[in-house]
Amino acid sequence: MLTGLTRADVAALVKAGHVLVDGRAVTTRSRRLVEGETVDVTVPEVVVTRLAGDSAVDVAVVHEDADVIVVDKPAGLVVHPGAGHATGTLVHGLVARFPDLLEIGAGDPARPGIVHRLDKDTSGLLAVARTATAYDSLVGQLQDRTMSRRYLTLVWGHVEGGEGLVDAPVGRAASDPTRMTVSAGGKQARTRYIVVARYDSPAPTTVLRCSLETGRTHQIRVHLAAINHPVVGDSRYGGKRASIAVPRGFLHAEALAFDHPSSGKRVEFTSALPADLQSVLDSLDAGD
C-alpha cells in the first residue's frame, strides 16, 4: 500500500499518467474502482539536491532562537514540497529566511527542520528545528507525547457532555489513498476534546478544543467525522453544508507547548483565531 502521499501528490500522479487500472491510464481522479480491478502506481523518484528559498513566501514567525522557530501558518499554504507543490511552500519561505535549515532533518531535503505538519487549509502554529539536537529533541517529544498541540474547531451537531476522548486507529482508505479513515488495521490515534460552546442556529454546531495525543494524517478531521460530528467546512470528510458559509475547514492550531531543546524549560505559544474563522463565530454569536 502506498503511504506518505498527500491528496495533491496522488492527483499529480494521475495527471502525469502514472496511475493504471487494469493496464490503462486513469484520466480522472474521480474514477471509482470495481472489485477485482488491479491498480498499478509508478512513483517517479524525486531528487532534491538543494532546495532554493523563496522570499516571496511570507512566513509569520512568532518565535525564533538558536534552536527553534515557531511559525503561524496561514490557511492555503502547503508546508513542504511534494508532487503537487514543487514551489511556493512554507519550507521555501523558511529557507529563504533561515538558510541554515537546509542542514537539518531526517535525510529528507524537501522537509528541512520540519518536525510536524499542518494540512494545507489548517492554520496555526508549527515548530521548526534549527539544529540536529533540537530536531531530535522535538521529534522525541512528539513520540513520547510530551509536546502539546491544541486546536480549535467548529463541528456539526451538539456534542454531548463536557469532554471526551476518541481512541480509534487511523489508516488510509483502501479505495482512496488520499483519504484517511478509522480502520482496525490503522495506527493508534487518540484525540481528546473539550466542549467550548454550542449553537442552535442556523444549525446545531459545537465549538471544541482538541488535543492530539498522537499525530496521524487528518487525525482530528477523521476522528470527529467518525463520531458523526465532522468539522464544519471540511468537504473531504462530510463537513461541507450550505447552512453555514465558511471559507475552509474550521480548524486552527491555536496552542503549542514543548520543552525547549537547550534549556529544558517548558515554552508555550498561542495563536489567535484568524479573521476568516472568527467571522463565522461572530455570526453565530449574533444569531445570524
Q: What is the spatial distance between Cα 93 and Cα 101, in angstroms, rounded to a whole number?
A: 11
Indicate whether 150 and 277 sit together in one domain: yes
Contact (Cβ atoms closer than 8 angstroms) between residue 69 and residue 97: no
Indicate whether 149 and 280 sit together in one domain: yes
Q: What is the DSSP letter of 145?
A: T
Model's pTM, two decimal places? Answer: 0.82
| pLDDT tens by residue, the chain, 288 residues | 555 555 656 766 776 677 877 767 776 666 777 777 777 777 665 444 567 888 899 999 999 999 999 999 999 999 998 767 778 899 999 999 999 999 887 667 888 999 999 999 999 999 999 999 999 999 999 999 999 999 999 999 999 999 999 999 999 998 888 899 999 999 999 999 999 999 999 999 999 999 999 999 999 999 999 999 999 999 999 989 989 999 999 999 999 999 999 999 999 999 999 999 999 999 999 986
Going by C-alpha positions, the residue among 139, 92, 140, 110 that lies closest to residue 45 is 110
Indicate whether 202 and 263 sit together in one domain: yes
Indicate whether 179 and 193 sit together in one domain: yes
What's the pLDDT at 1?
55
Environment class of residue 74 by beta-carbon count within 10 Å: exposed (0-12), middle (13-18) or buried (19+)?
middle
Q: What is the DSSP letter of 102?
A: G
Contact (Cβ atoms closer than 8 angstroms) between residue 113 and residue 64: no
Q: What is the spatial distance between Cα 268 and Cα 225, in angstroms, rounded to a whole number?
A: 29
Indicate whether 157 and 261 sit together in one domain: yes
Among the listed residues 9, 72, 119, 121, the single catalytic one is: 119
119 in catalytic set: yes
- 138-144: list long-range contacts, CB under 8 Å, 24+ apart: 138/68, 138/258, 138/261, 139/106, 139/115, 141/258, 141/259, 142/115, 142/116, 142/215
Q: What is the spatial distance between Cα 165 and Cα 254, in angstroms, rounded to a whole number?
A: 19
Which amino acid is located at 3 in the chain? T
189: CATH: 3.30.2350.10
What's the pLDDT at 83?
67
Indicate whether 150 and 288 sit together in one domain: yes
When divided into structural domains, the chain yields a total of 3
Q: Which residues contact 180 (CB under 8 A, 6 or more apart)?
A: 170, 171, 172, 173, 216, 217, 218, 219, 221, 222
Among residues 144, 162, 187, which one ends one of the domains?
Answer: 144
What's the pLDDT at 47?
47
Indicate whether 121 and 150 sit together in one domain: no
Among residues 144, 161, 186, which one ends one of the domains?
Answer: 144
Cell of 210: 482538541
Domain interval for residue 224: 145-288
Indicate whether 33 and 65 sit together in one domain: no
3-state helix, strand, coil in the chain (%, to 5): 20, 30, 50
Instruction: Report CA dihedral (155, 220, 118, 27) to the nearest 10 degrees.
Output: -90
